[in-house]
Amino acid sequence: MSDPLLRLSATSPDLSGELAGFLAGRAPRAGRCRVFAIEGRSGAGKTRLAAELSRRTGWPVVHMDDIYPGWEGLAGSVPLVRHWIVAPLMRGGLPRWRRYDWQRGEYGPWEETPVGRELIVEGCGCGARELRPYLAALVWVDADARVRAERLDARFDAAVYAPYRSVWARQEERFHVEHCPRGHADVVVDNS
């Protein structure tokens, strides 16, 4: 574990520009592709940061929410990302994955993500130990527990998420203790 190479604040007037500038200098580690993981706890602001960065750069985003195999699937998502996203990139191909249908509780048809030289993977789990060797950079989005709880309460899908919130929180805690993504982050964004 080491100190991050870069610390940013979400209040910066050009956060996505500063982050894009840093990431542009990183070397590819997944074949010719630079994969940038945006990791953090639920409600930290990962999805929003990924969307802002994608708008700024045009880099595609794969959301872990689309890959998790259900409400107890955080650990199970890591090998799926390696198999569906990383392995094709290592062979010079495109990520090919199946979106999880949260209503039906099963995976849908195969999808491909058009990727040039960059890809953003966003969500809890993308900074796993098994995935880090393939990441050009790991970005940790940090927010304190109170702020995260308020954001989760205000989500558009808060009622759907509510019954599973404690189940998910326990998985996150186990994941972060086991994989320590915050301690391996190249960039830390304070989003409190």
In a domain, 96, yes or no: yes
Instruction: Give the Cα separation of 17 and 23 in Å (integer).
Output: 10
The per-residue pLDDT for 52 is 96
In a domain, 135, yes or no: yes
- Which CATH number does the domain housing residue 70 bear? 3.40.50.300
pLDDT digits (tens, 9 = 90+) for 165-176: 899 999 999 999
pLDDT at 160 over 80: no
pLDDT mean across residues, the chain: 94
Number of structural domains in the chain: 1
What's at 11, amino acid-wise?
T
In a domain, 62, yes or no: yes
The per-residue pLDDT for 1 is 62
pLDDT digits (tens, 9 = 90+) for 70-122: 999 999 999 999 999 999 999 999 999 999 998 899 999 999 999 999 999 99
- For residue 40, the tally of other CB atoms under 10 A from its CB is 29
15: containing domain? 6-190
pTM above 0.85, yes or no: yes
E strand residue ranges, 25-176: 34-40, 61-63, 96-101, 106-112, 118-122, 135-142
Mean pLDDT of 133-137: 98
pLDDT at 2 over 80: no
In a domain, 156, yes or no: yes
DSSP SS3 for 46:
helix
In a domain, 1, yes or no: no
The per-residue pLDDT for 181 is 97
